[in-house]
Amino acid sequence: MRSPTFNVPPNIAKQFPSELSLTMFERMCMFRYFELGVIDAVIKKEITYPVYLSSGQEAVAAALSTEIRDYLIFAQHRAHDVYLTFGGPPERLRDELLGLSSGTSQGKAGSNCLQYHENGISMFGHHGLIGENVPQAVGAALGSGKNTVCIFGDGAAEEDYVFAAMGFAATHKLPVLFVCIDNNLSILTTVDVRRSWSITDVARSLGMPAVDVADDPWAVIYHTRALSNNLPAFINCYVCRGYWHVGIGIDATPEWDRYKKVEEELIRLGHEEAIRVINEKTRRFMEELWDRELLLKPLEK
């Protein structure tokens, strides 16, 4: 099942306007350079909080951020990508990670408990229990009637309160899009060792439409469009975590690097010059933000 092309319609990128594809890439690019700055700051011991990096997984958040607007956002512990792609200011996250009072939570929440409720963005972050954001998101949708996106991991999906909350959302037809970022890992344990069932089958059995898809951002948008007209719904996205569960180490070269694949696809579609400009502009912006040289390297051990 798990593969870089799973449930990706052939030639899907071509069906999308160039502007949308380039915006999506720009968000992925901004995010990658930002996390290079984080890594450098950890190496230099400027960041002393534990960091939960999302590099490698960012295509899903970039895709969602171009498609769903004005949703309440409930994220888990690995959420730098959600924060940045949905429009959180990079300098406030940088300051949060540096423990400064100008950070998103005055430097007290750090990497894994990001919260941001400004500029029309409502992002609720983690508090310690994986999957806790699922009942919280369902409660928020029930209380507010607002469209809500709830993003959690394949490990969190195994918590009992996750199913109970998803079942409640299905029964009461609450407007929640549940998104599982399936990196096949709960810390270091792969899905096949942990369980013999699929969270997508469980979501279907609870009575909501559900789909598995690789993290190709165009495919994620394609499926999100279909599902977001029919909430609650569930989408399980196969992604590859680039770095350790926590910290900046690399276990092994990831199965695939979606960033490189998106870049290659855009070049194939004739956007080589636009890609070069976006890369250059973003790199310069992030170099200034972190006050250092940032060179994009492939995620390799």
Ligand X SMILES: Cc1ncc(C[n+]2csc(CCOP(=O)(O)OP(=O)(O)O)c2C)c(N)n1
Note the residues at the interface with ligand X (CB under 6 A): 77-78, 128-130, 152-156, 159, 183, 185-187, 245
Residue 187 contact, options ligand X, Mg ion, none, Cβ 5-8 Å cut-off depending on partner type: ligand X
In the bound complex, what is the minimum distance in angstroms from residue 190's beta carbon to Mg ion? 9
21 vs 54, beta carbon nearer ligand X = 54
Q: Which is nearer to Mg ion, 67 or 154 (CB)?
A: 154
248, containing H or E segment:
none
CB of 161 to ligand X, least distance (A): 9
Q: 246: Cβ–Cβ under 8 A, 6 or more apart, which residues? A: 50, 51, 52
Comparing CB distances to ligand X, the nearer of 138 and 266 is: 138
Q: Which two tokens stand for residue 137?
A: 């998101």
The distance of closest approach from Cβ of residue 258 to Mg ion in the complex, given in angstroms and rounded to an integer, is 16
Q: Which does residue 129 touch among ligand X, Mg ion, none (CB within 5 to 8 A, set by kind)? A: ligand X
CB of 184 to ligand X, least distance (A): 8
| 64 versus 274: smaller Cβ distance to ligand X | 64
Which pairs with CB-CB distance under 8 Å and at least 24 residues apart come from 185-191?
185/154, 185/155, 185/241, 185/245, 186/153, 186/154, 186/155, 186/158, 187/155, 187/245, 188/245, 188/251, 191/154
d(CA 157, CA 116): 24
**Positions in the binding site for Mg ion (CB under 5 A):** 153-155, 183, 185
Closest CB to ligand X: residue number: 153
Q: Are strands 189-190 and 176-182 parallel, antiparallel or unpaired?
A: unpaired
Place of tokens 């994986």: 130
Give the integer Cα–Cα distance in Å for 262 and 168.
37
CB of 102 to Mg ion, least distance (A): 31
